[in-house]
Amino acid sequence: MEELQASLQPRGLTLSTFPDKGRSLLAARDFYPGEVIISQDPYVCVPNNSLTESRCDGCFSKSNLKKCSACHVVWYCGSSCQKLEWKLHRFECQLLAKLDKERRKSVTPTIRMIVKLYLRRKLQNENVIPVTAMDNYNLVEALVSHMSDIDEKQLLLYAQMANLVNLILQLPNIDIKEIAENFSKFACNAHTICDSELRSLGTGLYPVISIINHSCLPNAVLVFEGRLAVVRAVQHIPKDSEVSISYVETAASTITRQKTLKEQYLFTCTCVRCNKLGQYDDIQESAILEGYRCRDNGCSGFLLRESDEKGFVCQQCGLIRNKEEIRKIASDIKALSDKALKCSSSGNLQEAIVLYKNIEKLQKEVCHPFSIILMRTREKLLEILMQLEEWKEALAICRLTIPVYESRSSFNLNH
Ligand SMILES: C[S@@+](CC[C@H](N)C(=O)[O-])C[C@H]1O[C@@H](n2cnc3c(N)ncnc32)[C@H](O)[C@@H]1O
């Protein structure tokens, strides 16, 4: 870690360890909103390929794809991406080509990440790929795995996946337990690589960026420029303070955020937002983000459950909303959502638009106008409309989301 510390110093950063969080990245000088704090190329990354969607292994694009003729698993958009990846894929390709057709189908993106991890370690050990202070396997070894905290079912799954990786790699002296531990490390350290519209393209392991801890009110944000991970300040970060990003959707209730953090990252967040759990402004924010709207369309109050559980009371005008009425609409929304998901994943986009519009209509009846649930439906609609180049309608959806973003920034100012 001394080498890493030395390479972070000229960037105005330093490493520290806290008893409750483990390693942390600190600012060794002031950073200002918009400024790049750190950027890193992935140690390994893979596109999120599935049976219905493929992307180029180099740039993650979806156009002009050709399958690697030897392994039939990996896709490229052209020779420049293929060349870029060849140093490693040359070895991966030989291993995948040896597998029978059925086994090849079980090589999921996660399995490929681990296979690539070991191949990269081997190529760095053999000096085929250069080693630097920010790009070496020691950084992967230092990542937290939470192996002692995960349940038996998950351990068993990791063991099965580790066996498959072992079968593919066929390296001498490989430790199955270490492979399983690397799966666990991926679960709490890997990042989803997104495009500028936050669409998920793939997964990458960025072992220096993984040192950055979480806050529900972060002072920095992680974005991607292609495969490059870039951390930018979103607030003034004074010298000696910790750099933090959010691992989860910040526009969620405290209970939802804490549940996700506990399940995926195995810790309980004690940030300033989480410490407000149960206080009036936390209850209000949670009810707006995930709760129901007032029966009176002209009222913007938030609803809380009545003590006798018959319904929900508007905290602004006192009107009561019946629980059964909400339950009925919620079940209609669920049925439509299942259909819409099927349509959009099978490429039936026109039908998906009709269904998402109906979902939005129903959600407008039950959800608070600034609800994150309604917002997600609109984001989905926007994504499909943009795919179909229906710009006018897409713009109309954007206009609906602006007031929600404005209200969110006022929430955050209150914290
Ligand atoms: C991506 S790692 C971050 C770096 C980590 N601290 C380390 O020592 O390598 C994620 C893990 O860090 C810890 N962590 C991150 N943010 C935290 C926070 N706000 N409070 C407590 N633990 C946190 C948790 O153990 C979590 O699973």
Kindly report the three-state secondary structure assignment for every residue of 286-335.
HHHHHCECCCCCCCCCCEEECCCCCEEEECCCCCEEEHHHHHHHHHHHHH
Tokens 């914290």 sit at which residue? Answer: 415
Residue 256: per-residue pLDDT: 95
Helix, strand, or coil here: 219? coil
Residue 415: per-residue pLDDT: 40
Q: Does residue 104 belong to any structural domain of this protein?
A: yes
In the reported structure, the alpha carbon of residue 144 is separated from the centroid of ligand 1 by a whole-number distance in angstroms of 8
Residue 404: per-residue pLDDT: 77
Q: How many CA atoms lie within 13 A of 80 on its CB side?
A: 4
Cα 15 from Cα 9, distance rounded (Å): 9
Cα 307 from Cα 167, distance rounded (Å): 58
Q: Does residue 130 belong to any structural domain of this protein?
A: yes
Cβ neighbors of 163 (< 8 A, separation 6 or more) are: 176
Q: Does residue 60 belong to any structural domain of this protein?
A: yes
Q: Does residue 144 belong to any structural domain of this protein?
A: yes
Q: Does residue 76 belong to any structural domain of this protein?
A: yes
Q: Does residue 51 belong to any structural domain of this protein?
A: yes
**Pocket lining for ligand 1, CB < 6 angstroms:** 20-23, 143-144, 146, 188-189, 210-211, 213-215, 265-267, 269
Q: Does residue 64 belong to any structural domain of this protein?
A: yes
> Amino acid identity, residue 187?
A
CA dihedral 228, 229, 234, 235 (to 10 degrees): -120
Report the number of distinct structural domains present in the chain: 1
Q: Which residues pair with 244 in a beta bridge?
A: 213
Cα 281 from Cα 415, distance rounded (Å): 9
Cα 231 from Cα 212, distance rounded (Å): 10
3-state SS, one letter per residue, for 78-106: CHHHHHHHHHHHHHHHHHHHCCCHHHHHC
In the reported structure, the alpha carbon of residue 94 is separated from the centroid of ligand 1 by a whole-number distance in angstroms of 37
Cβ neighbors of 376 (< 8 A, separation 6 or more) are: none
Residue 408: per-residue pLDDT: 65
Residue 117 domain boundaries: 44-192
Residue 414: per-residue pLDDT: 42
Cα 104 from Cα 99, distance rounded (Å): 6
Q: Does residue 367 belong to any structural domain of this protein?
A: no
Cα 39 from Cα 234, distance rounded (Å): 15
Residue 325: per-residue pLDDT: 92
The answer to whether the CB of 241 falls within 8 A of the CB of 27 is: yes
Angle between helices 391-414 and 280-290 (to 10 degrees): 170
The answer to whether the CB of 205 falls within 8 A of the CB of 140 is: yes
Specify the pairing of strand 244-245 against strand 213-214: parallel
**Signed CA dihedral, 370, 372, 374, 377: sign only:** positive
Give whole-number Cα distances, 310 to 193, 221, 319, 386, in Å: 44, 42, 13, 42
Q: Best mutation site among 144, 212, 245 for ligand 1, i.e. most ligand atoms within 8 A of its Cβ?
A: 144
In the reported structure, the alpha carbon of residue 213 is separated from the centroid of ligand 1 by a whole-number distance in angstroms of 5
In the reported structure, the alpha carbon of residue 216 is separated from the centroid of ligand 1 by a whole-number distance in angstroms of 13
> Amino acid identity, residue 180?
A
pLDDT tens, residue order, the chain (415 aa): 789 999 999 999 999 999 999 999 999 999 999 999 999 999 999 999 887 789 999 999 999 999 999 999 999 999 999 999 999 999 999 999 999 988 998 999 999 999 999 999 999 999 999 999 999 999 999 999 999 999 999 999 999 999 999 999 998 888 999 999 999 999 999 999 999 878 899 999 999 999 999 999 999 999 999 999 999 999 999 999 999 999 999 989 999 999 999 999 999 999 999 999 999 999 999 999 999 999 999 998 999 988 777 899 999 999 999 999 999 999 999 999 999 999 988 889 999 999 999 999 999 999 999 999 999 999 999 999 998 999 999 999 999 888 877 776 555 544 4
Q: Best mutation site among 267, 270, 274 for ligand 1, i.e. most ligand atoms within 8 A of its Cβ?
A: 267
For the question of an ipTM over 0.90, the answer is yes
pTM, 2 dp = 0.90
